[in-house]
């Protein structure tokens, strides 16, 4: 499990990985206000 699962204090066991991804991503987006430096942007394609 990634650290974010713990860091966000989410209890999502039993939830589909897709809904899990969506919820965690929203929570992490909210944490950008407490970033210690400017977030680094990466564009990835496959």
Partner 1 sequence: MGSTLLKYIAQHQPDILLLQEIWSAADYAKIIKIGVEAGFELAGKRNGPNHGLQILIRKGAVKSVEAAGFSTMYKYGIVPFEWLGWVERGLMWAKIVLSDGQRVLIGNTHLTPFTSYYEVRSRQVGMMAKIIENLSFERDHVIVGGDFNIAADFQAYSQKKFTALKQAQWPYALFASTSGLRDAYRSVHPQHAGYSFNPLFDPKKNRVSIRADQRLDYIWAGERTRNSRLHITGAGIEFEGEHDGILPSDHFLVHATLELFQVP
Return all residues near 15 (Cβ < 8 A) that are at least 6 apart: 23
Instruction: Report the nearest approach of partner 1 to the CB of residue 11 (Å).
Output: 15
Q: How far is the CB of 45 from partner 1 (least distance, A)?
A: 4
Identity of the residue, 11 or 35, whose beta carbon is nearer to partner 1 in the bound complex? 35
Which DSSP symbol is given to 16?
Answer: -
User: How far is 38 from 18, CA to CA, in rounded Å?
Assistant: 28
Binding site for partner 1 (CB under 8 A): 1-7, 16-22, 24-25, 28-29, 31-32, 34-46
Least distance from partner 1 to the Cβ atom of residue 1, Å: 5
Alpha-carbon distance of 24 to 16, in angstroms, equals 12
């Amino acid at each position: 499990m990634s650290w974010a699962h713990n860091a966000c204090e989410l209890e999502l066991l039993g939830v589909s990985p897709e809904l899990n991804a969506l919820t965690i991503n929203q929570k992490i987006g909210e944490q950008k206000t407490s970033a210690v430096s400017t977030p680094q942007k990466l564009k990835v394609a496959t």
